[in-house]
């Protein structure tokens, strides 16, 4: 077995040049306070109608908090790793190539890798997006925005980390 595939406590923040505290061995958050802070960010006022923040950043795992105003849409997303979407507030509409479902507050969905999807906030909403991928796969290569239609700054979370990567 390769030593690279073994998870060792405390290795999460190694190699993070920006915000290494996001990879600490223990992280704890008050989600209501985090959502309130997102509503005060400049990104909340942008025409995209959403704001996001990376809460956890390990080499093979990310957790992002996303707040969206009513009727805003994130289109054409795809991750090479598996994801979960856990709605904390509001209601989301998840559109997959062959299925549409709504995710109310308190509900969680899991998507297998490689599935293109759109997320629409039916009303003002907040959700946790969790992304996991195999070790050795670069994080930026795993999330794509299949239909680029937004400013590059809209694809950055509030800490400046890219959360989406355009495909040409």
Q: Please tell me the pTM assigned to this model.
A: 0.77
Q: Is residue 159 part of a domain?
A: no
Q: What is the block-wise mean pLDDT of the chain (168 residues), using blocks of 10 residues? A: 58 62 86 95 84 90 95 90 96 96 98 94 97 69 42 39 35
Residue 60 and residue 8: Cα distance in Å, rounded?
12
Residue 29 and residue 42: Cα distance in Å, rounded?
21
Q: How many domains is the chain partitioned into structurally?
A: 1
Q: Which two tokens stand for residue 53?
A: 């923040």
Half-sphere exposure of 120 (CA within 13 A, CB side): 8
CB 76: neighbour CB atoms within 10 A? 17
Q: Is residue 163 part of a domain?
A: no
Q: Is residue 89 part of a domain?
A: yes
Whole-number pLDDT of residue 148: 36
Range of the domain at 143: 27-150
Q: Is residue 82 part of a domain?
A: yes
CATH code of the domain covering residue 93 = 2.60.120.10
According to DSSP, the residues that pair with 161 across neighbouring strands are none
Whole-number pLDDT of residue 162: 41
Whole-number pLDDT of residue 107: 98
Q: Is residue 156 part of a domain?
A: no
Q: Find tokens 């490689």 and name the residue.
A: 114
């Amino acid at each position: 077995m390769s030593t690279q595939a073994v998870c060792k406590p405390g290795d999460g923040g190694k190699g993070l040049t920006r915000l290494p505290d996001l990879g600490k061995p223990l992280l704890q958050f008050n989600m209501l306070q985090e959502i309130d802070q997102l509503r005060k960010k400049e990104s909340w006022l942008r025409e995209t109608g959403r704001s996001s923040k990376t809460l956890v950043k390990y080499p093979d795992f990310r957790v992002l908090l996303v707040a969206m105003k009513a009727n805003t849409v994130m289109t054409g997303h795809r991750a090479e790793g598996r994801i979960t979407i856990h709605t904390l507030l509001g209601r989301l509409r998840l559109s997959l190539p062959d299925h549409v479902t709504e995710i109310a507050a308190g509900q969680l969905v899991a998507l297998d890798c490689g599935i293109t999807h759109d997320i629409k906030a039916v009303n003002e909403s907040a959700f946790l997006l969790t992304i996991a991928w195999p070790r050795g796969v670069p994080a930026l290569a795993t999330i794509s925005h299949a239909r680029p239609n937004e400013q590059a700054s809209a694809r950055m979370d509030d800490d400046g980390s890219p959360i989406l990567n355009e495909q040409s």
